[in-house]
Amino acid sequence: MADRIDSILRDYFSGLLDLKIKQRKYEIRNDYGPTDENIGGGKALNKHARPLDDMMIRLESDKTLQSLTKQKKDVERWIATFESDKQKVVKYYYASKSITWTKVAQQFHISESTAKSWRVEVKHILGAVL
Protein backbone atom coordinates (compact mmCIF):
# COMPACT_ATOMS: atom_id res chain seq x y z
CA MET A 1 0.00 0.00 0.00
CA ALA A 2 2.71 2.47 0.95
CA ASP A 3 4.64 2.12 -2.28
CA ARG A 4 1.54 2.65 -4.40
CA ILE A 5 0.49 5.73 -2.44
CA ASP A 6 4.03 7.12 -2.61
CA SER A 7 4.14 6.71 -6.37
CA ILE A 8 0.70 8.32 -6.81
CA LEU A 9 1.70 11.28 -4.65
CA ARG A 10 5.03 11.65 -6.44
CA ASP A 11 3.30 11.51 -9.84
CA TYR A 12 0.72 14.06 -8.73
CA PHE A 13 3.08 16.62 -7.20
CA SER A 14 5.78 16.28 -9.85
CA GLY A 15 3.25 16.82 -12.65
CA LEU A 16 3.72 13.35 -14.10
CA LEU A 17 0.08 12.39 -13.46
CA ASP A 18 -1.15 15.30 -15.61
CA LEU A 19 1.33 14.29 -18.29
CA LYS A 20 0.07 10.68 -18.19
CA ILE A 21 -3.53 11.88 -18.58
CA LYS A 22 -2.63 14.10 -21.54
CA GLN A 23 -0.62 11.31 -23.15
CA ARG A 24 -3.47 8.82 -22.79
CA LYS A 25 -5.95 11.28 -24.32
CA TYR A 26 -3.53 11.86 -27.19
CA GLU A 27 -3.18 8.10 -27.75
CA ILE A 28 -6.96 7.64 -27.81
CA ARG A 29 -7.54 10.58 -30.14
CA ASN A 30 -4.88 9.45 -32.60
CA ASP A 31 -5.69 5.73 -32.61
CA TYR A 32 -7.76 5.12 -35.67
CA GLY A 33 -7.96 1.39 -35.16
CA PRO A 34 -7.32 -1.27 -37.75
CA THR A 35 -7.63 -0.22 -41.36
CA ASP A 36 -10.14 -1.92 -43.58
CA GLU A 37 -8.31 -3.67 -46.37
CA ASN A 38 -11.47 -4.96 -47.98
CA ILE A 39 -11.31 -3.31 -51.37
CA GLY A 40 -14.34 -3.41 -53.58
CA GLY A 41 -17.75 -4.72 -52.76
CA GLY A 42 -20.87 -2.77 -52.16
CA LYS A 43 -21.64 0.48 -50.50
CA ALA A 44 -22.30 0.54 -46.75
CA LEU A 45 -25.91 1.58 -46.32
CA ASN A 46 -26.23 1.84 -42.55
CA LYS A 47 -22.86 3.36 -41.77
CA HIS A 48 -22.99 6.34 -39.44
CA ALA A 49 -20.53 9.21 -39.67
CA ARG A 50 -20.27 10.73 -36.19
CA PRO A 51 -16.55 11.02 -35.49
CA LEU A 52 -16.94 13.46 -32.58
CA ASP A 53 -19.44 11.22 -30.82
CA ASP A 54 -17.24 8.18 -31.39
CA MET A 55 -14.23 10.05 -29.94
CA MET A 56 -16.16 11.10 -26.83
CA ILE A 57 -17.33 7.52 -26.30
CA ARG A 58 -13.76 6.22 -26.57
CA LEU A 59 -12.48 8.85 -24.12
CA GLU A 60 -15.23 8.18 -21.59
CA SER A 61 -15.00 4.40 -21.80
CA ASP A 62 -11.22 4.06 -21.50
CA LYS A 63 -10.43 2.36 -18.18
CA THR A 64 -6.85 3.63 -17.96
CA LEU A 65 -7.92 7.23 -18.47
CA GLN A 66 -10.73 6.85 -15.94
CA SER A 67 -8.31 5.44 -13.37
CA LEU A 68 -5.76 8.24 -13.84
CA THR A 69 -8.45 10.92 -13.68
CA LYS A 70 -9.96 9.39 -10.54
CA GLN A 71 -6.55 9.31 -8.85
CA LYS A 72 -6.00 12.97 -9.63
CA LYS A 73 -9.43 14.02 -8.35
CA ASP A 74 -9.07 11.94 -5.17
CA VAL A 75 -5.66 13.41 -4.35
CA GLU A 76 -6.86 16.96 -5.05
CA ARG A 77 -9.96 16.50 -2.94
CA TRP A 78 -8.24 14.98 0.07
CA ILE A 79 -5.09 17.10 0.06
CA ALA A 80 -7.32 20.17 0.24
CA THR A 81 -8.71 18.97 3.58
CA PHE A 82 -5.33 19.12 5.33
CA GLU A 83 -3.81 22.18 6.96
CA SER A 84 -1.74 24.35 4.65
CA ASP A 85 1.51 23.51 6.48
CA LYS A 86 0.98 19.79 5.92
CA GLN A 87 0.08 20.41 2.28
CA LYS A 88 3.27 22.41 1.73
CA VAL A 89 5.49 19.81 3.40
CA VAL A 90 4.02 16.91 1.44
CA LYS A 91 4.11 18.87 -1.82
CA TYR A 92 7.74 19.90 -1.28
CA TYR A 93 8.83 16.36 -0.45
CA TYR A 94 7.05 14.63 -3.34
CA ALA A 95 7.80 17.27 -6.00
CA SER A 96 11.32 15.91 -6.53
CA LYS A 97 13.15 12.68 -5.79
CA SER A 98 16.24 14.58 -4.66
CA ILE A 99 14.47 16.14 -1.65
CA THR A 100 15.37 14.57 1.68
CA TRP A 101 13.63 14.87 5.01
CA THR A 102 16.54 16.98 6.26
CA LYS A 103 15.90 19.50 3.48
CA VAL A 104 12.19 19.49 4.25
CA ALA A 105 12.86 20.12 7.95
CA GLN A 106 15.24 22.99 7.17
CA GLN A 107 12.91 24.55 4.61
CA PHE A 108 9.86 24.64 6.89
CA HIS A 109 11.65 25.00 10.26
CA ILE A 110 10.22 21.84 11.75
CA SER A 111 11.78 18.62 12.97
CA GLU A 112 12.26 15.66 10.66
CA SER A 113 10.01 13.51 12.81
CA THR A 114 7.19 16.05 12.55
CA ALA A 115 7.50 16.16 8.76
CA LYS A 116 7.52 12.37 8.56
CA SER A 117 4.50 12.07 10.86
CA TRP A 118 2.58 14.52 8.65
CA ARG A 119 3.44 12.44 5.62
CA VAL A 120 2.30 9.26 7.38
CA GLU A 121 -1.00 10.94 8.27
CA VAL A 122 -1.57 12.05 4.68
CA LYS A 123 -0.64 8.63 3.31
CA HIS A 124 -2.88 6.84 5.80
CA ILE A 125 -5.94 8.84 4.79
CA LEU A 126 -5.19 8.67 1.08
CA GLY A 127 -4.53 4.94 1.38
CA ALA A 128 -8.07 4.45 2.60
CA VAL A 129 -9.46 6.50 -0.28
CA LEU A 130 -7.30 5.24 -3.12
Domain assignments of the chain as residue spans, ordered by start: 1-10+50-130
What's the pTM?
0.79
DSSP H helices, the chain, are 2-14, 16-29, 51-61, 63-79, 84-94, 101-108, 112-129
Q: For position 125, what pLDDT does the model report?
A: 87
Mean pLDDT, consecutive 10-residue stretches, the chain (130 aa), reads: 83 95 91 66 69 84 94 92 92 93 94 93 86
Amino acid (one-letter) located at 123: K
Residue 70, amino acid: K
| 112, 105 Cβ separation under 8 angstroms | yes
